[in-house]
Structures are given as C-alpha cells and as structure tokens.
Amino acid sequence: MKSHHDLVRLEQVNLHFGRNHVLQNIDMALHKGCITTIIGPNGAGKTTLVKVVLGLTKPSTGNVWCEDGLRIGYMPQKLHIDRTFPLTVQRFLQTAQCKDKSLMLEALSDVGAETLLKESIHGLSGGEMQRVLLARALLRNPNLLVLDEPVQGVDINGQLELYALIARIRDQRNCGVLMISHDLHLVMSSTDHVICMNHHICCSGHPEQVSNDPSFVDLFGQRGAEQLALYNHHHNHRHNTHGDVVHEHCEHDHG
C-alpha cells in the first residue's frame, strides 16, 4: 500500500567522519510533487544529508535507493566563480547541456530573471544569482530539485517570493523538492513535509505537526516555536521584491 511515488529513499543511513557520528539512523523518503524541507541548527548535518541524497557522499552504513531515470536539478549553497573566469548568464546556462536560447529564456522567465540573459555572472546580486542558479537547475528538466539554502543572501521579501516561486515550480512541473533552510518561520507556508534534524531526525511531518512537537521546541527554543505558531495565523498576502502585495494564487507577471 504505497500512496506516494517515491523518488529517493534512505534506509538506516549512518555516516561517521572520524569520531563524529554525523548522521544517525536516518530514514527518509522524497516523493514526487512534494516539498520536503530539512531544518536544524548549524552543524546538524543538513548539508551532509543532502550530499548523501545527491550521491556525493557515501554513507558508512545504510542504503540509498533512487528511482530509475532520476534527474536531479541541484542548486548548491554558494557558487563562487573566480573573477578571472569570464562568464555571462547565457554561457552559464549553456553548461546545463542546453543550447536552445528560447528554453533558456523560458527557464529565466520562470524564475523572474528574463532580463539577465546577457549579464555578466560577476555583476549579479545575491538574489539574482540564486534565481539564475534555480533557472539552471530547471533547464535540466529535473524530477527532483535539490536546493541547499536557496534564499541565502536574499532579503526577507525576496525570501518569501523565492519560496513561493519554488512552490509554484513544484505545482507546474510536479517534481519533488528537497531543500535546506535554517529559517523556520519563512519556509513553513510553502512546504509539505518538514524534517527537523540534529544528527538524527528529531521529528518530521506536516509543518503544524512539527511546530507543536516537544523535540522541535527543544531544538529551537520556545521563542522559535512561538514565532512559528504566530506565523501560521496571519498573512493572507505576500510581498514581492518591490514591496507590492502579491496574492497567493494569482498569476504572476513581471514588468
């Protein structure tokens, strides 16, 4: 009786770095059309867990199962490109094995960055760079998007907008999404499943479920948990980067 279409399954994954037991008995599954968010304090092993999912790090014990034909679109936490490396957004997108300019423009407009095609990658702001990285991940036509702190270096309004964008991409493409966030209250409204971890999985489930879980309160303190509860009660609208109100389900257009 399987109600979900699994893309990746981790079974009893353990990982040791020297004497550090970084990942402890991790069981998790990523589903098609489902946004899974990993939250946890710094040094909790979030990025390491993502690297196991990506196949970049082999677990010490346990199994990682991937669906046949899984195509991962990965957006690393930070992409540092040396200034000696001349690169335009267009040439950068071409490295996703895409030569078709109209496809590139489509991916850029999906993330609201269609004006950046000819720009130098070195002149982009933090938020623009994250959008370009996301567009590049989309160009690979992934059935699983993996995003390591996708809103890093983006201001609060931009963060809300990016999370909404990720949710919209999931709706349009019905792909699975795995992302890391340390900003609990912003990500809650646009995620289906939360995994709260500190080397082991402390609790997991729907966002509301997790925010009421005692181990979550333990990990983030009463204050963090209350902020979260508050967040669930307000906001029937969002703001885009220009400060304008953007309604939840309205079509999105850019000037």
Least Cβ distance, residue 250 to another protein (angstroms):
33
Considering only the stretches 58-66, 72-80, 151-159, 206-214, report the one whose residues sit in contact with another protein under the rule CB under 8 A: 72-80
Q: Which is nearer to another protein, 120 or 212 (CB)?
A: 120
Contact between 164 and another protein by CB under 8 A: the answer reads no
Q: Which of 14, 24, 120, 157 binds another protein (CB under 8 A)?
A: 120
Q: Annotate each residue in 185-204 with x if it binds another protein (CB under 8 A) or - if it does not, as one string.
A: --------------------
Q: Which of 12, 20, 61, 95 binds another protein (CB under 8 A)?
A: 95
Sheet with strand 20-31: strands edge to edge: 20-31, 6-17, 61-66
Sheet with strand 72-75: strands edge to edge: 72-75, 144-148, 176-180, 35-39, 193-198, 200-205
Contact between 68 and another protein by CB under 8 A: the answer reads no
Contact between 123 and another protein by CB under 8 A: the answer reads yes
Contact between 56 and another protein by CB under 8 A: the answer reads yes
Pair 127, 241: CB distance under 8 Å: yes
Q: Can you give the three-state secondary structure of 172-206, one letter per residue?
A: HHCCEEEEECCCHHHHHHHCCEEEEEECEEEEEEC
Least Cβ distance, residue 136 to another protein (angstroms):
9
Pair 9, 167: CB distance under 8 Å: no
Pair 216, 196: CB distance under 8 Å: yes
Q: Which is nearer to another protein, 122 or 206 (CB)?
A: 122
Considering only the stretches 75-83, 164-172, 194-202, 232-240, report the one whose residues sit in contact with another protein under the rule CB under 8 A: 75-83
3 state SS of 213? coil
Pair 73, 79: CB distance under 8 Å: no
Least Cβ distance, residue 146 to another protein (angstroms):
8
Least Cβ distance, residue 120 to another protein (angstroms):
3
Buried b (16+ CB within 10 A) or exposed e, 139-157: bbebbbbbbbbbbbebeeb
Element (H, E) at 231: helix 214-233
For residue 162, give Cα distances in angstroms to 86, 125, 169, 221.
Answer: 27, 14, 10, 26
Residue 63 bridge partners (DSSP)? 11
Considering only the stretches 82-90, 103-111, 189-197, 204-212, report the one whose residues sit in contact with another protein under the rule CB under 8 A: 82-90
Least Cβ distance, residue 85 to another protein (angstroms):
5
Contact between 4 and another protein by CB under 8 A: the answer reads no
Contact between 58 and another protein by CB under 8 A: the answer reads no
Contact between 245 and another protein by CB under 8 A: the answer reads no
What is the gyration radius of the CA atoms in the chain, in angstroms?
Answer: 18
Which positions lie near another protein, rule CB under 8 A?
51, 54-56, 72, 74, 76, 79, 81-82, 84-88, 91-92, 95-97, 119-123, 140, 146
